Structure 1
């Protein structure tokens, strides 16, 4: 009796051992597979664009955007390769195919009234703010201008935006203007401090809110 009891208790255990071993292996490898997949998803591919003209930069950015790239950063200044240029960085996931398609608009002007008008028109077309910089562009005669980058999704229902541009030489005045705009529902999008043709060395702020 003891022999038969021992025999019947051992047989199921022996049958379970391969399954237990397989389960332990899967449990050990699963986190590693997830980590590997996560690291691939986190990988980025970059494309650097440099040009002296904002119109050319806009074309180059939209060409890159059609390939899944999106705006990452911009700076204006002197480069060894091309002199005074606008340099823009675009990025996309290394695992391409699921990127949201975007299109870009660049605004560059030395007048606050013109910039405000162009921002208003862009906001009505669904463009949202993504960045700004000061650059000496070849739009006119290498003037120092505020360059604003706007984007919108391709082929989707567009949200309309309202923009407000503030430019002043005094930080105290800018503080008052920002609070006044904030009380109207505007949110600060970007701030630059530099010498521009807007009015010399001044603070330039761009604010935005969703149109009701």
Structure 2
């Protein structure tokens, strides 16, 4: 029922937590979390009334009205206090930053934050580092012709990081992951096209780090 990228998110959700699915769309991930006995309870949250109405119908159809509650909420604004972990998936890095920054005190208290973005990776990592969130794991999924970066973080108060961690990620750089390698190769091609019209130093650094990653692991794939 859920996409490949959401299945990977589900796989990393810590068992037994009260989870808020931010931007739940039609609540299929929320339903799967309960059906597989992963979450204790789920708050299916969305800013749009239309998708949330469909989510409510889906939840009722599968019989989870008692354990999945739909909430009309802009980000974390109306997420209940008993929430222990959150999922923010299927949006850009800047939007994810906005959601976390708008309710920073709440975000710092969660045991698990799972983020899945399709752009703005570097900005997101840098913001997380600068605000004391520790990256515990990262992975890349290729689903329906797109690459998605997923990050598992929680607040530790630590803010030490290297420039390489912004571009590659402190956890991802240690992996021998073919999908990550393919993703970096794809990003290099796209970034080089942009650089043909620009001399952005940030983009040059991106290419440099990506090529370094590929060179470092190419003999092991």
**TM-score when normalising by structure 1:** 0.31
Structure having the larger proportion of residues in strand: 1
Higher relative contact order (CA 8 A, sep 6+): 1
Instruction: Please say which structure displays the higher CA radius of gyration.
Output: 1
Q: Greater share of helix residues, 1 or 2?
A: 2
Q: TM-score, normalised by structure 2?
A: 0.30
